[in-house]
Amino acid sequence: MVTALQTPPKTLKVVIATRESRLALWQAEHVKALLETRLGWQVELLGMTTLGDQILDRALSKVGGKGLFVKELETALADGRADLAVHSLKDVPMDLPEGFSLACVLEREDPHDAFVSPNFASLAELPQGAVVGTSSLRRLVLLKALRPDLNIQPLRGNLDTRLRKLDEGQYHAIVLAAAGLKRLKLEARIRHTFLPADMLPAAGQGALGIEVRSDRADLLEALGVLAHQPTWLAVTAERTVSRAMGGSCSMPLAAFITQCSGDEMQLSAAWGDPVMAEAEASEPVSTALPAALVEVRQTAVVNSFASAEALGEAVAAQLRAGGAVWAGNAQVV
């Protein structure tokens, strides 16, 4: 239950709840700078550790659930320790808990996936049976579709930890979000950027959202000036696919606006069999089979949140018609 708080004075002093990884702190500092320069607010950061940060011994698909990186931040909003929270949208469930609202979505950074390797320039150059690190079931399924021979192994930890594990020789290559590398000025580590045709991004990847309590009308109004409407509409369509499919860390699901011309958007989505994806991660390379993929796309005029959600729902329906299974019915081993 969210308790009521008094509206703060006009000259706002606000606290941003944030995870404490270097990337999360960059994101919070980025929003802090926007609030200070564009709105004249006084801003402090409240660093926190989430459940998703604490679970490092197994893939998040094994943990299950949604919002593993946001729940503790929402608790800080609810009890008044913080006024707003900054999230990577791909970590945020489409349906927020009662009492919370997405105040705005900022302009998107590079939404694509990046191939990172000290010795190989691309996925095609990897040797037979090469070890590739990722804990994303979406990336696992898409990688297996491109290279069934690859040995996909779990990769947990923050961005710096993942790069350290690569440099220690635990993997031939790893796949990361290009946005995080670019935000931390590590783009030199990117050997190849996957095109959406090869590695369709996750819903909301590369975009930042600001979450507040629904009863903070002052913040909801003021933060609107930071919103980037084209990004917000695009990620709404993408995230609607995820919601309609029951998307979580345990579902290999991709959704991305692959084309945009005026008000017209093309939304592409891909779904992979969760059981097959997990089985392939543990099977010997010689017996691994390509994961079954359902891939769809649809184009529509999107000029409102309602039309963005309608496009997302239509694409989700296409996925189900093609054999994709809603997460609530899927078995994850």
Question: Which residues, 6+ apart, have CB-to-CB distance to 10 below 8 Å?
Answer: none
Q: Are 234 and 265 within 8 A, CB to CB? A: yes
Q: At what angle do helices 159-167 and 22-38 cross, to 10 degrees?
A: 140
Query: Using CA atoms, how far apart are residues 126 and 121, in angstroms rounded to an integer?
Result: 8
- Do the Cβ atoms of 256 and 203 come closer than 8 Å? yes
Which listed residue (53, 79, 83, 91) is catalytic? 91
Three-state secondary structure call for residue 241: helix
Asked whether the beta carbons of 70 and 92 are under 8 A apart, the reply is yes
Largest CA distance in the chain: 66
Helix count and strand count (H, E) for the chain: 11, 13
Instruction: Name the token pair of 197.
Output: 């045709």
Q: Are strands 208-213 and 84-88 parallel, antiparallel or unpaired?
A: antiparallel
Q: Give the C-alpha distances (Å, rounded to integers) separating 158 from 77, 203, 312.
A: 24, 20, 30
Cross-strand pairs, 208: 88
Q: Annotated catalytic, 91?
A: yes
Q: Show the CA angle centred on residue 232, arms to residues 46 and 114, nearest 5°.
A: 75
Residues 6+ apart with CB under 8 A from 275: 330, 331, 332, 333
Catalytic center residues: 91
